[in-house]
Structure 1
Amino acid sequence: MANAREINPILKQFLELGPTLAFFILYIRIKDDLFTFGGTEYTGFIVSAVVFVPILLLAMGILWALTGKLSRMQVFTAFMVIFFGGLTAWFNDERFFKMKTTIVYGLLALILTVGLLRGRSWLEFVMADMMPMRHEGWMILTKRLVMAFVTLAVVNEVIWRTMTTEAWVKIETFGFPVALMVFLFWQFAQLQPFVIEEGNDADKSV
């Protein structure tokens, strides 16, 4: 993008991760409280989920103003948070916000699977500039990432249905992101033979 601008990496990380941490901190502080709005009683979790929406939008707005761009994943995440946050507040039911994670991972797995069925890696389309790699490598990574997303979706369903809300919040905030990050680092290490080294592009793209 011609209008894209670089910003301080620490500020960028703060704007991307800050809203989730804010949700976690707010929930921990008010998890045992009850709030009444318009004659309806809401738990601390639901209030935290609803407050999370404008915090996320504010952070994304600042990020867009500073960089001139937002990734497709950021826009998708914002839509899902707004949609399920709205359902959570409207029905006063925390299950909607918890199911959001399952649906996000499930949709990502489905989208990547559709690409694979067409012989394409849409992951390559999104990330090729960040990590030049032969097409075969992207196909392998995409297949493995589909399995990882499906696993995370199933695990999320088990956790929110069988464990406490506090346990789910902690795993949602820290467990899932760390697990996905470790998985990706592991895969990138495994797929090093497919990485296109500078100066060898022509040889490895044949």
Structure 2
Amino acid sequence: MTDRSPPLSPGLKAALDYGPLFAFLAVFLLYRDRTVTWGGETYPGLIVATLVFVPLTLLANAVLWAKTRTLSVMQLVTLAIVVIFGGLTVWLNDARFIKMKPTIIYLVLAGLLGLGLALRRNWLGVAMGEMVPLAPEGWRKLTQRLVVLFLALAVLNEIVWRTQSDTTWVLFKTVGLIVLTIGFFAANMPLIRRYALPEDDSR
């Protein structure tokens, strides 16, 4: 018999998933027209927001680990990219790194899922199986669609940050990407229902 941690409450899970992101948005909106001078260096609002976002993301993952004793490969990869690119953003005082972060994350996730498909490994099922138990064919089709989504979001992020204002990009990153992701899963509900396993078969 395995010793499993109790599931997170919906409120705590939402706070851990989205708290750092919306803190990033709030700090940016507060400081977007101001600068902060620290250690003789002047930092614009986007850098200040990043300085808040990175430690909050680390804290959220630490709480998640303490509560569940598990972090998925995708969560670890995302955390590593956040720390590296967020750290470079603050260290070099260059917002291009934080703007490229979503592109790198989506390309890495698309690559991992694509590699899983090539190796016939159900890595998406390992990450999401408890939330959405599906038959193998359902996981394969959903993985294929997610690869396309991640590649499209990587391209879209590059277009937005290179052509739009900081404010537009921050809103796209914090609100737009969430809406697009929710829309993707809503559009794929027919597939999920078609391949969903009965509760007894998903254990």
TM-score by length of 2: 0.90
Q: Aligned in 2, Cα 1:45/1:8: closer, same or farther, shift over 3 Å?
A: same
Identity of aligned residues (%): 43
CA distance in 2 between partners of 1:66 and 1:141 (Å)? 28
* Match runs of 1:1-40 below 5 Å: 2-40=3-41
- 1:118 deviation in Å? 1.8
What is the aligned partner in structure 2 of residue 69 from structure 1?
Answer: 70
What is the aligned partner in structure 1 of residue 198 from structure 2?
Answer: 197
* Matching of residue 89 in structure 1 with residue 55 in structure 2: no
How many aligned residue pairs are there?
A: 201
CA distance in 2 between partners of 1:17 and 1:26 (Å)? 14
- Residues 4 and 69, structure 1, Cα contact 8 Å, conserved in 2: no
Gap runs ≥5 in structure 2? none
What is the aligned partner in structure 2 of residue 78 from structure 1?
Answer: 79
What is the aligned partner in structure 2 of residue 125 from structure 1?
Answer: 126
- Residues 63 and 70, structure 1, Cα contact 8 Å, conserved in 2: yes
Output one character per residue of 1:140-173: Cα deviation in whole Å (capped at 9) or x when no partner. 1111110000000000000000000100000100
Gap runs ≥5 in structure 1? 202-206
Output one character per residue of 1:13-48: Cα deviation in whole Å (capped at 9) or x when no partner. 112211111110011001111122222221111111
CA distance in 2 between partners of 1:102 and 1:74 (Å)? 16
Runs of 4+ deviating beyond 6 Å: none
Q: Aligned in 2, Cα 1:132/1:5: closer, same or farther, shift over 3 Å?
A: closer
Output one character per residue of 1:85-133: Cα deviation in whole Å (capped at 9) or x when no partner. 1111122110000000000000100111111112333212322333222
CA distance in 2 between partners of 1:17 and 1:67 (Å)? 18
- 1:198 deviation in Å? 4.3
- 1:184 deviation in Å? 1.4
- 1:57 deviation in Å? 1.8
- Residues 134 and 195, structure 1, Cα contact 8 Å, conserved in 2: yes
- Residues 27 and 48, structure 2, Cα contact 8 Å, conserved in 1: no
- SS, match of residue 138 in structure 1: helix
- SS, match of residue 43 in structure 2: strand
TM-score by length of 1: 0.89
What is the aligned partner in structure 2 of residue 155 from structure 1?
Answer: 156
* Match runs of 1:49-68 below 5 Å: 49-68=50-69
- 1:179 deviation in Å? 0.7
